């Protein structure tokens, strides 16, 4: 694919670099360090398997699920953006 002064694989190299950066950014947001033995919200014990699977885990499965649901609910205002596109 001809892209001016760019080399033949330049577009794919840029895509690969973008993906690598996104993976690096996502991994940097993962918790690290020692896991808690009990949930910091409800004080229920966190299973050993969960603590080994996710280093730095601080919430039990139920509290983590509730936390994730709250975060995903605050998404885009799709109705507002659709209305603005129709005008």
Backbone φ and ψ for 22, nearest 5 degrees, come out as -65, -40
- What number is the average pLDDT over the span 51-59? 90
Indicate yes or no: pTM above 0.85: no
According to the model, what pLDDT value does residue 70 have? 84
On whether residue 82 sits in a domain, the answer given is no
Task: Count the domains in the chain.
Answer: 1
Cβ atoms of 59 and 67 within 8 Å: the answer is: yes
Confidence check: pLDDT of 66 > 80 = yes
On whether residue 22 sits in a domain, the answer given is yes
On whether residue 60 sits in a domain, the answer given is yes
Predicted confidence (pLDDT) per residue in 10-46, tens digit: 889 999 999 999 999 998 888 888 999 999 999 999 9
Across the chain, mean pLDDT equals 82
């Amino acid at each position: 694919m001809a892209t001016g002064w760019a080399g033949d694989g330049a577009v794919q190299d840029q895509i690969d670099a973008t993906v690598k950066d996104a993976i690096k950014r996502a991994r940097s947001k993962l918790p690290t360090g020692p896991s808690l033995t009990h949930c910091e919200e409800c004080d229920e014990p966190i299973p050993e398997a969960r603590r080994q699977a996710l280093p730095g885990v601080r919430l039990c499965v139920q509290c983590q699920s509730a936390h994730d649901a709250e975060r995903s609910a605050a998404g885009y205002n799709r109705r507002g953006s659709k209305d603005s596109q129709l005008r």
